């Protein structure tokens, strides 16, 4: 591609809205443009990178026998009513009516379509196992997009679905996908950490997320450097402190004016936060009021809480009015005297005697509160967040907390879609069984952004060869002075072009100053920068710069040409 013809422009100034290096560089180098909140166009360069990423994924999916297909973006709402997700998912799913007043939705993912196809096509166990995938646009009307391509509303995802006769088959398919993912991210140049993940209220029996460690990540990971333990904080269960036994003391009310947070309370009473109980109040999507109690030195983990109380529709913080209506006082709250509330207590609290807890009276707390004696939990569970330095559940060494971006996930769905949607097969036993599914997603744009996060320097992007839009960037200098420069450059360019699409290079044939050309070449990030100039010709050929190492050498023209057309 001749740069003089390429639909793009580079920017000298950093776009004001781009905080992440990847976002800034992709905008500045002319790979993407924003159309709206979380909605991006891929310019030709960006599209080419996307295609390269897609191709890597395609090869690895094909390699494990996953079959490529394509499913629609617009679905009849009835399909989603069948699985029940039409009612469970909130406003992140775009709903609309077609001209005949039929309810339609924009696809957020494609489990329903796969299940409906299975129902139509699969009759016998002989047709299983089977895996399919496609690259397709998803629209998720996220409340807030962020980080350029990291969190968007419209994006292309590779989503694969495994379909098996039973759990053992699912385990095999899952393992194949796991291994394929490992190869994919290695080829993409992304170091990932695989963490155990939340399966959510939709059920399923297991999930892993492939995480790219990055400070802008939206997930917090609990990682042990001493062993291989790694989990999303949403589900991480780590060791809790030992608590010294203590005889229960009489409960006693004490004035604590203004001490509405654990920090101020602990300071006021001159005790450690571990001597206090923290109350958090939630409403479930189905209208239940939850009081969650953790020790003052911990935070409530909402994912764990959602799962423990099986909160359909999730949790939202309760309002002050809702708290008052149940006999409690925000800022001075505890389950003592609570009405119409489900009390969920972290197991550590039950082992911690004589805690300070709210008196449910403005400006007062209670000393020496003991679970069981002073109030009765409806549920005792592990609902606290793992903290930096807590003991690893596998080896006991302190864990660290890291931020990560989810670049891929694999999920054992089980029969959550096939049972409600009636996707069954006739087994060897002559009985109908539900097909056992798994789903496996990789968001393309997010991966492109992460690749840039991992591969750039102060000057620009440095694409790994596997995903570079073009293998080389050819620059001419002094072309106006010396016709031989143009001759050689044209010869190299045409030779690469003739060698096939995979060999095509980027050719900066613009009448720009050398500074502009070199600066753009480094910004754009092709792995090899080839310079043809009177100087390089006099030195024996073409100057080649390795973008990653900065290493330069002059090579004979014929040798460079061979490298462009060869394997």
Partner RNA sequence: CGGGGCGUGGCGCAGCCUGGUAGCGCACCUGAAUGGGGUUCAGGAGGCCGAGCGUUCGAAUCGCUCCGCCCCGACCA
According to DSSP, residue 503 is labeled G
Residue 321 binds RNA, judged by CB under 7 A: no
CB-nearer residue toward RNA: 306 or 338: 306
CB-nearer residue toward RNA: 56 or 529: 529
Residue 288 binds RNA, judged by CB under 7 A: no
Q: Which of 109, 127, 350, 368 binds RNA (CB under 7 A)?
A: 109
Interacting span for RNA (CB under 7 A) from 236-244, 252-260, 424-432, 478-486: 478-486
CB-nearer residue toward RNA: 235 or 366: 235
| Residues between 394 and 433 that touch RNA (CB under 7 A) | 409, 411
Q: How many helices and strands, by DSSP H and E, does the chain display?
A: 16, 29
Q: Which of 77, 130, 202, 426 binds RNA (CB under 7 A)?
A: 202
x/- letters, 45..84, toward RNA (CB under 7 A) = ----------------------------------------
Smallest gap from Cβ 529 to RNA, in A, equals 8
Smallest gap from Cβ 107 to RNA, in A, equals 10
Residue 543 binds RNA, judged by CB under 7 A: yes
Q: Which of 6, 8, 10, 364 binds RNA (CB under 7 A)?
A: 10
User: How buried is 17 (Cβ within 10 angstroms: 0-12 exposed, 13-18 middle, 19+ buried)?
Assistant: exposed
In our burial notation (b when 16+ CB lie closer than 10 A, e otherwise), range 115-147 reads bbbbbeebeebeebbbbbbbbbebbbbeeebeb
Smallest gap from Cβ 539 to RNA, in A, equals 8
CB-nearer residue toward RNA: 187 or 459: 459
CB-nearer residue toward RNA: 178 or 364: 178
Phi, psi (rounded to 5 degrees) for 353: -80, 155
Residue 94 binds RNA, judged by CB under 7 A: no
CB-nearer residue toward RNA: 109 or 394: 109
Residue 189 binds RNA, judged by CB under 7 A: no
Interacting span for RNA (CB under 7 A) from 98-106, 136-144, 167-175, 375-383: 136-144
Q: Which residues contact 278 (CB under 8 A, 6 or more apart)?
A: 262, 293, 294, 295, 296, 298, 299, 300
**Of 112, 159, 108, nearest in space to 132 by CA:** 159
Q: Which of 481, 484, 502, 553 binds RNA (CB under 7 A)?
A: 481
User: How buried is 303 (Cβ within 10 angstroms: 0-12 exposed, 13-18 middle, 19+ buried)?
Assistant: buried
> How many CB atoms are located within 10 Å of the residue 351 CB?
14
Interacting span for RNA (CB under 7 A) from 35-43, 346-354, 373-381, 559-567: 35-43
Tell me the site size for RNA, rule CB under 7 A.
Answer: 65
Q: Which of 218, 252, 378, 487 binds RNA (CB under 7 A)?
A: 218
Residue 514 binds RNA, judged by CB under 7 A: yes
Residue 478 binds RNA, judged by CB under 7 A: yes
* 433, two tokens: 């069984």
Whether the Cβ atoms of residue 344 and residue 291 lie closer than 8 Å to each other: yes
Residue 16 binds RNA, judged by CB under 7 A: yes
Residue 102 binds RNA, judged by CB under 7 A: no
Residue 258 binds RNA, judged by CB under 7 A: no
> How many CB atoms are located within 10 Å of the residue 92 CB?
12
Q: In sequence order, what DSSP letters do the residues of 524-551 get, joined into one string?
A: HT-SEEEEE-HHHHHTTSEEEEETTT--
* 217, two tokens: 């990540």
Distance from C-alpha of 366 to C-alpha of 417, rounded to nearest angstrom: 49
Interacting span for RNA (CB under 7 A) from 112-120, 137-145, 165-173, 450-458: 137-145
| Alpha-helical segments (H) within 428-556 | 444-454, 483-498, 514-524, 534-538
Q: Which of 132, 277, 290, 315 binds RNA (CB under 7 A)?
A: 315
Distance from C-alpha of 20 to C-alpha of 191, rounded to nearest angstrom: 18
Ramachandran assignment for 389, one of left (phi > 0), alpha (psi -120 to 50 degrees), beta (any other): left
- In the block, residue with structure tokens 């613009």: 510
Residue 520 binds RNA, judged by CB under 7 A: yes
Distance from C-alpha of 213 to C-alpha of 191, rounded to nearest angstrom: 8
Cis bond before residue 339 (omega within 30° of 0): no
Smallest gap from Cβ 128 to RNA, in A, equals 21
* Residues lying near RNA in the complex (CB under 7 A): 9-17, 19, 34, 36-39, 85, 88-90, 92, 108-109, 142-147, 200-202, 218, 302, 314-317, 409, 411, 439, 441, 459, 477-478, 480-481, 511-516, 518-520, 522-523, 531, 533-536, 543, 545, 552
């Amino acid at each position: 591609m001749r740069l003089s013809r390429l639909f793009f422009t580079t920017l000298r100034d950093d776009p004001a809205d781009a905080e992440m290096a990847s976002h800034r560089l992709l905008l500045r180098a002319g790979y993407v443009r924003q159309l709206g909140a979380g909605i991006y166009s891929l310019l030709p360069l960006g599209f080419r990178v996307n295609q390269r990423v897609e191709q890597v994924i395609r090869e690895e999916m094909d390699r494990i026998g996953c079959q490529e297909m394509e499913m629609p973006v617009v679905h009849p709402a009835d399909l989603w009513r069948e699985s029940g997700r039409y009612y469970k998912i909130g406003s992140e799913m775009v709903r609309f009516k077609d001209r005949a007043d039929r309810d339609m939705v924009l696809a957020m993912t494609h489990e329903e379509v796969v299940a409906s196809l299975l129902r139509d096509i699969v009759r016998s166990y002989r047709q299983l196992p089977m895996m399919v995938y496609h690259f397709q646009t998803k629209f998720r009307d996220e409340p807030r997009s962020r980080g350029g391509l990291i969190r968007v509303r419209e994006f292309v995802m590779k989503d694969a679905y495994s379909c098996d006769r039973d759990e053992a088959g699912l385990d095999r398919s899952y393992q194949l996908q796991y291994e394929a993912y490992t190869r994919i991210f290695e080829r993409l140049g992304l170091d990932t950490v695989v963490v155990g993940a939340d399966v959510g209220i939709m059920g399923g029996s297991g999930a892993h997320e492939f995480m790219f460690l990055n400070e802008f990540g939206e997930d917090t990971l609990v990682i042990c450097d001493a062993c291989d333990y790694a989990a999303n904080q949403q589900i991480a269960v780590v060791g809790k402190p030992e608590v010294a036994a203590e005889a229960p003391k009489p409960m006693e009310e004490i004035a604590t004016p203004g001490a509405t947070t654990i920090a101020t309370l602990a300071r006021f009473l001159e005790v450690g936060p571990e001597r206090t109980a923290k109350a958090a109040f939630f409403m479930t999507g189905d209208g239940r009021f939850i009081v969650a109690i953790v020790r003052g030195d911990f935070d409530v983990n909402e994912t764990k809480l959602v799962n423990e109380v099986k909160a359909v529709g999730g949790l939202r913080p309760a309002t002050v009015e809702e708290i008052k209506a149940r006999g409690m006082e925000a800022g001075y709250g505890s389950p003592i005297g609570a009405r119409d509330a489900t009390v969920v207590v972290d197991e550590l609290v039950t082992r911690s005697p004589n805690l300070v807890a709210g008196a449910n009276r403005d400006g007062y707390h209670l000393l020496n509160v003991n679970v069981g004696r002073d109030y009765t939990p409806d549920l005792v569970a592990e609902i606290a967040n793992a903290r930096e330095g807590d003991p690893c559940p596998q080896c006991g060494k302190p864990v660290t907390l890291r931020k990560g971006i989810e670049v891929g996930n694999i999920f054992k769905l089980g029969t959550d879609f096939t049972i409600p949607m009636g996707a069954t097969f006739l087994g060897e036993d002559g009985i109908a069984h539900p097909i056992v599914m798994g789903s496996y997603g990789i968001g393309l744009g997010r991966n492109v952004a992460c690749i840039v996060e991992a591969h750039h320097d102060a000057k620009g992007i440095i694409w790994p060869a596997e995903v570079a839009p073009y293998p080389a960037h050819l620059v001419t200098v002094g072309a106006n002075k010396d016709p031989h420069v143009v001759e050689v450059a044209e010869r190299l360019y045409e030779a690469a072009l003739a060698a096939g699409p995979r060999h095509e290079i980027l050719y900066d044939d613009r009448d720009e100053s050398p500074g502009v050309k070199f600066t753009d070449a480094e910004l754009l990030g092709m792995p090899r920068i080839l310079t043809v100039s009177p100087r390089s010709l006099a030195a024996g050929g073409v100057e080649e710069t390795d973008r990653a190492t900065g290493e330069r050498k002059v090579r004979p023209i014929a040798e460079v040409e061979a490298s462009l057309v060869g394997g």
